[in-house]
Chains A and B, each alone.
Chain A
């Protein structure tokens, strides 16, 4: 029985457009053109309890919008959502206690107070039993290694420390489902790694369902078994990361630089050309033919430099974006 089910979910926004130039500015005072943006177009998927799912997509793809609908911040235009047995749009108190959302740029900790004070507020908000709360707080603080900074004013903490405390704040009430919107954005590499480690451990230990949106491929690759790629409001891929890498790994990527200008159609005899410039190209060749084709390439073309690599998740996603 999945814990999250989305069926035919759509979300459209109405926005205003201003005509160009001075005339447009004056017109805009009185009447503006109303346009509709379909941010999410008829998507469906379900997520099981304990899954760690990554949402990937370019800016404006609809992943944050989807997340906001899952958490009840936005109402869908069409379709149905069930999260933890509730309809998020109803914003029932019981529902709120089951979920938690962390949005990278928006903090819930009061900046001029120590984190512990906001934690107390959260305890009261979610009506957490004192003992349970204390135990949980200690456990989380320990896991994150932040015991000694809980009494320091939040604004005096580094970005990484702040994010750790924000995460703790979001997990104190032991939510069944955690939504993370760009949680490592703006952090240094070390902090990113620490937070990833924490999330991995947390998901394994507490079996919390976690949905993560991110720009950083490392976030997703490291943590998620399942990947949902959203582009332009639609799902481009929904499946395991292993599968998608394997499928794309059937090919090798070759990055060639030439001494003379080369025609694209000549190159396509070697393999699929997916990036082309007169002096430079990227070609994709099936794994089994790799050796043969590469020697052919070197012999028949004035190759100046050649680079052979496995396809990265980044390139796979980019490719999927392009195809949709």
Chain B
């Protein structure tokens, strides 16, 4: 009984300290959250303005687009609060030598970067609005909802998203890029729109080479039960392929980095 009490106390103490710490910078984080909600709101206004003049975008009606946007923001907010924070720090770690320190620890670096900088608190308001938007689109649409399918495809989407982040971050092992986060934000933002607006070669690139389609549009279609078996299999395939490729590139990059640093 004392054993449990002791661990409970540790947890409570930890939460206390964490909360104190967060309240200390409460103001700053409030503004950051406000900023994020603001960008969310502006995106909604933008799409509403489009739908004032056009019945569809790429053949998708407004509710389908809300589902798409809800998915987009869920992925963005969760990734921003977890693995993206860690991977964005790679260039800084390389410059100041901290990376060598982490490499010497008995934790897989990818895993470490994914959990080390988790933000447990301020993700809550963000996820709330994102899921809110998703539910709104779901409630307004006439189509048949398939949540299970959605969740499964969403999980695949996260893995693909994560793999892309790993690939982009691996570039740092070869040459340092600043403004990395602006760059990948901009690329992923292409997925805010139904993939159907892109045609030809661009559509191909965004499906196979930088599979934005499978991260955003495909889960959104899964929600309304619009996916064929072929497409589900394709999603699973892309997930495996990209995870594999990202591991390859990451390990290659690490090896090169380690050999250059001795």
Contact = CB atoms under 8 A, between A and B. Distances in A.
A and B touch in the complex (CB under 8 A): yes
Interface of chain B: mostly helix, strand, loop or mixed: helix
A149 B97 CA distance: 28
Interface in B1-30: 16, 19-20, 23-24, 26
Nearest to A18: B24
Contacts, number: 13
B16 A22 contact: yes
Contacts of B20: 21-22, 25
Contact of A28 (B16, B19, B23): B23
Contacts of A25: 19-20, 23-24
Interface of chain A: mostly helix, strand, loop or mixed: helix
A22 B20 CA distance: 6
A39 B70 CA distance: 55
A22 B26 contact: no
Interface string A225-260: 000000000000000000000000000000000000
A21 B21 CA distance: 10
Chain A's interface size range is: under 10
A33 to B, nearest CB: 16
A125 interface: no
Interface string B17-48: 00110011010000000000000000000000
A14 interface: no
Contacts of B16: 21-22
Interface in A14-57: 21-22, 25-26, 28-29
B206 to A, nearest CB: 38
A29 B26 contact: yes
A307 to B, nearest CB: 42
A22 B16 CA distance: 7
A26 B19 CA distance: 10
Nearest to B17: A22
Contacts of A26: 23
A25 B25 CA distance: 10
A291 B24 CA distance: 61
A25 B26 CA distance: 10
Contacts of B23: 25-26, 28-29
Residue from the set A25, A26, A28, A29 with the largest chain B CB neighbour count within 10 Å: A25
Interface of A: 21-22, 25-26, 28-29
Given A21-B20, A22-B19, 8 more contacts: A21-B16, A22-B16, A22-B20, A25-B19, A25-B24, A26-B23, A28-B23, A29-B26
Q: Which 5 A-B pairs have the closest CB atoms?
A: A25-B23, A25-B20, A22-B16, A22-B20, A29-B26
13 contacts: A21-B16, A21-B20, A22-B16, A22-B19, A22-B20, A25-B19, A25-B20, A25-B23, A25-B24, A26-B23, A28-B23, A29-B23, A29-B26
